[in-house]
Amino acid sequence: MLKILSIVGARPQIIKAAALSRIISLKYKDRIEEVIIHSGQHYDFGMSNVFFDELAIPQPKINLSVGSGSHAEQTAEMLSGIEKCVVAENPDVVVVYGDTNTTLSASLAAAKLKIPLAHIEAGLRSFNKKMPEEINRVISDHCSTFLFAPTITAIQNLHREGFSSENTPPFSVDNPGVFHSGDIMLDNTLYYLNNQISDSKALSEDTYPYCLLTVHRENNTENPERLFNILSAIVKFADTMGRRIKFPVHPRTKSKLDLENPNSRFRFINNHPLIEILEPLSFLETLLVEKYADVIFTDSGGVQKEAYFLSRPTVILRNETEWLEIVNTGTGILVDDDETKILNAGKYFIENPPSSYPSFYGEGKTAEFICNTLLEAFPDKI
């Protein structure tokens, strides 16, 4: 059997890992053994356990319970914890997802132990190294033996950084393989849309029409001015366009909003009749809310993409995006924290809903592609 060690820790990578675990248990259980390690980067029920339950992901063998901290504290603690797990499990491949501090720590641990690393969602670039995620993804890519890139743009980014386009096995960290795998999140979106979501009962009629807001990026939450600009614009948009706003709040954002405090400058969203402040949603709840939102305002990469998969337009609360296709097709607009741009982009999409969302992200068979590629790379394990 090929033994893989999947390392997760933060909400988006738990969701991505679900697609790989599902296909292993459906099609590869006699050829691939998967062990899951959880770093504990996310620990609230709504940020972690809910996804294991809802997406039927096997329980992690170990949870390192690292929790929150400064970047250095969190990364260092995960690095030493993950190193011990990799040594104890001695897998053929370590698998990491996305661009979080968990991804970075696991990548460094595997590369230093000379265990081949597979990076799912390789090659994405915002070209903004002020984002911790950009540093994490560049380092993870350069520690990897198998780079699974979701898009052609991601492949081109890797080639520009010196990764060879030849892909000649045997692969190693010095001769890495770069694969156009498609986007593993599409596997989940299609699977759950087709199998689990029964739209008719899920949202009550009086919910419509509505838009969705998510904001959690360090750049937006750690700067009160930016958070204030974004929320003021959203309130103006809601009032002008008569749209309810569903706003599931990430714990980081919640602590910055500090809405319980009567002196919080964000209190204006508290009792606003059109702003619906929610706890973080589960994956299926998120898909459902995304599916029927007129417009999605977000700074999340994952939400941008799910919006695209579901043919919903996005107003991107950032200055740049790793998902250039979304902007290039005109189905997403970058607005940063600019009040006028946020308002105008939202209004534009209500009045001109895009009609075409060309396919850039594969066909929802990325997890299968990854399993086949890894099995081929280890012929003695078949």
Choice between 21 and 286, CB closer to ligand UD1 = 286
Which residues ranging from 75 to 114 are in contact with ligand UD1 (CB under 6 A)? 99-101
**Whole-angstrom Cα distance, residue 322 to residue 307?**
15
> With binding defined as CB under 6 A, does residue 256 bind ligand UD1?
no
Nearest distance from C-beta of residue 287 to ligand UD1, angstroms: 16
DSSP state of 59: P
Nearest distance from C-beta of residue 83 to ligand UD1, angstroms: 18
**Whole-angstrom Cα distance, residue 148 to residue 152?**
11
Nearest distance from C-beta of residue 343 to ligand UD1, angstroms: 25
DSSP string, 39-50: --S--SGGGTHH
Nearest distance from C-beta of residue 238 to ligand UD1, angstroms: 24
- Using CA atoms in the order 38, 40, 41, 42, what is the torsion angle rounded to 10 degrees? 100
Nearest distance from C-beta of residue 313 to ligand UD1, angstroms: 21
- Contacts of residue 338, Cβ cutoff 8 Å, sequence gap at least 6: 229, 233
**Whole-angstrom Cα distance, residue 233 to residue 382?**
56
DSSP state of 244: E
Q: Which helix (H) or strand (E) holds 191?
A: helix 184-195
Which residues ranging from 195 to 254 are in contact with ligand UD1 (CB under 6 A)? 216, 250-252
Choice between 243 and 250, CB closer to ligand UD1 = 250
**Whole-angstrom Cα distance, residue 148 to residue 181?**
5
**Whole-angstrom Cα distance, residue 376 to residue 177?**
12
Supply 95's token pair.
């698998």
Q: Is 216 a catalytic residue?
A: yes
Site string for ligand UD1, 260-299 (x = CB under 6 A): ----------------------------------------
Choice between 23 and 94, CB closer to ligand UD1 = 94
Residue 362, SS3?
coil
Which residues ranging from 10 to 69 are in contact with ligand UD1 (CB under 6 A)? 10-12, 41-44, 47, 68
Supply 282's token pair.
């589960």
Choice between 334 and 375, CB closer to ligand UD1 = 334
Residue 120, SS3?
strand
Choice between 43 and 348, CB closer to ligand UD1 = 43
Residue 5, SS3?
strand
Number of residues binding to ligand UD1, judged by CB under 6 A: 19
- Of the candidates 66, 94, 62, 93, which has an alpha carbon nearest to the alpha carbon of residue 78? 66
- Using CA atoms in the order 249, 250, 251, 255, what is the torsion angle rounded to 10 degrees? -60
Nearest distance from C-beta of residue 347 to ligand UD1, angstroms: 27
Choice between 24 and 82, CB closer to ligand UD1 = 82
Considering the candidates 38, 119, 216, 250, report the single residue annotated as catalytic. Answer: 216
Supply 215's token pair.
């904001």
CA dihedral (107, 182, 352, 193) positive or negative: negative
Nearest distance from C-beta of residue 299 to ligand UD1, angstroms: 9
Please pick, from the candidates 175, 255, 261, 270, the single residue that binds ligand UD1 as defined by CB under 6 A: 255
Which residues ranging from 149 to 178 are in contact with ligand UD1 (CB under 6 A)? none
Choice between 221 and 366, CB closer to ligand UD1 = 221
Q: Which residues are annotated as catalytic?
A: 216
Binding region for ligand UD1 (CB under 6 A) = 10-12, 41-44, 47, 68, 99-101, 132-133, 216, 250-252, 255
